[in-house]
Amino acid sequence: MSIFSSATEKRRNLAGRIKSREFVTAPGVYDMISTRIADSQDHPALYMTGYGVVASHLGVPDAGIASFRDMVGRARTICEGSRTPVIADADTGYGGLLNVRETVRGYEAAGVAVIQIEDQIFPKKCGHTPGREVITADEMVKKIKVAVEAREDPNFLIMARTDAREACGIEEAISRGRQYHDAGADIIFVESPESEAEFAEIGKNIDAPLLANMVEHGRSPILPTEKLKTLGFCIAIYPGTAMAAAAAALKSSYEHIKKTGSTIGSPTPLLPIPALHELMGFEDVWAFDKRWSDKS
């Protein structure tokens, strides 16, 4: 199956779930180890986190430093290396209206199932951080209309994120969410509501598939799935969980080596090397080598 037919099938599957408001949880992935592990667990979707990709790929903050080329290349690698539909962060669309058109075309060609575009000024700041500023709602409406026109597959969904809660308050964020849905966005993402009551206000006042961003130690409370359903949400992403867990494990392992000079007695759980080999597909390599070896 080609990447394009595979991408079409993955998009159709995820779009059907979202349009019917079936609840979808998506763990954050940021490289191919995290992607392969999550892909093996049968999640309904994966979330390509901008923070995680920028951190792992470039080692810098998610502050508008990464380019479209940086991100679309990583999106393609993740999509080609997984069977699971991918929701992908595309920041502001990396510029103005023409940039948005090219970003949508590029992410669709890369195999992404849902593209996320936000209404921050360019260069953006990471969600759940202070100082975020937004463009006008009218400017973002134009971006959404360009994005909808640029896509070829109707099952390639457009997610509109607003950061207006931090910049302008919850009422403005809700107003923008409604405007963005009216402009053609398939999914609405109000970033960083600051209480369960604000989640409830969003769910009550925006009639669209809604996404909740569950960031541990962020500005929003972590709410269980059943509560999010009750409040009107149908997607929950966990963008930083895997990255934070991996960073904690790495820190612990390295500190133990520094302290003791070896890994003996390390309290950090390790995936056995045979399991790593299996995860990365070495068995296929070995079978190929055996088949084509000239040795008797």
pLDDT of residue 3: 54
Domain end (from 240, 260, 282)? 240
How far apart are the C-alpha atoms of 202 and 189, rounded to whole Å? 10
The conformation of residue 269, written as its DSSP 8-state character, comes to -
Residues 184, 51, single domain; the answer is yes
Residues 122, 263, single domain; the answer is no
Instruction: Give Cα 146 distance to the centre of its chain.
Output: 21
Residues 61, 154, single domain; the answer is yes
Left, alpha or beta for 92 (phi > 0: left; psi -120 to 50: alpha)?
A: alpha
Residues 37, 138, single domain; the answer is yes
Domain end (from 200, 219, 240)? 240
- Predicted TM-score (pTM) of the model is 0.93
Residues 260, 125, single domain; the answer is no
State the Cα angle at 167 between 161 and 172, rounded to 5°: 65
Domain end (from 216, 240, 264)? 240
pLDDT per residue rounded down to tens, the chain (296 residues) = 445 558 999 999 999 999 999 999 999 999 999 999 999 999 999 999 999 999 999 999 888 888 999 999 999 999 999 999 999 999 999 999 999 999 999 999 999 999 999 999 877 766 666 668 899 999 999 999 999 999 999 999 999 999 999 889 999 999 999 999 999 999 999 999 999 999 999 999 999 999 999 999 989 999 999 999 999 999 999 999 999 999 999 999 999 999 999 999 999 999 999 999 999 999 999 999 999 987 75
CATH of the domain at 68: 3.20.20.60
pLDDT of residue 132: 82
Q: Is the dihedral of CA 193, 201, 222, 182 positive or negative?
A: negative
Domain that holds residue 251: 247-292
Q: Tokens for 215?
A: 């960031």
Q: Which helix (H) or strand (E) holds 62?
A: none
pLDDT of residue 167: 84
Residues 256, 215, single domain; the answer is no
Q: Residue 151 contacts by C-beta under 8 Å, 6 or more apart in sequence?
A: 104, 105, 108, 158
For residue 7, what are the CA distances in angstroms to 4, 35, 109? 5, 16, 9
Residues 146, 183, single domain; the answer is yes
Can you give the C-alpha Rg of the chain in angstroms? 20
Domain total for the chain? 2
Residues 177, 220, single domain; the answer is yes
Residues 268, 236, single domain; the answer is no
pLDDT of residue 61: 85
Q: Which alpha helices (DSSP H) does the chain contain, by range? A: 3-19, 32-39, 50-58, 68-80, 97-110, 137-150, 164-168, 170-182, 196-205, 225-231, 241-260, 273-280, 282-292
Residues 142, 53, single domain; the answer is yes
Whether residue 61 contacts residue 272, with contact meaning beta carbons closer than 8 Å, is answered with no
Residue (of 237, 209, 119) closest to 168 by Cα position = 119
Residues 219, 138, single domain; the answer is yes
Residues 95, 129, single domain; the answer is yes
pLDDT of residue 106: 98
The single residue listed with the structure tokens 């991918």 is: 86
pLDDT of residue 166: 86
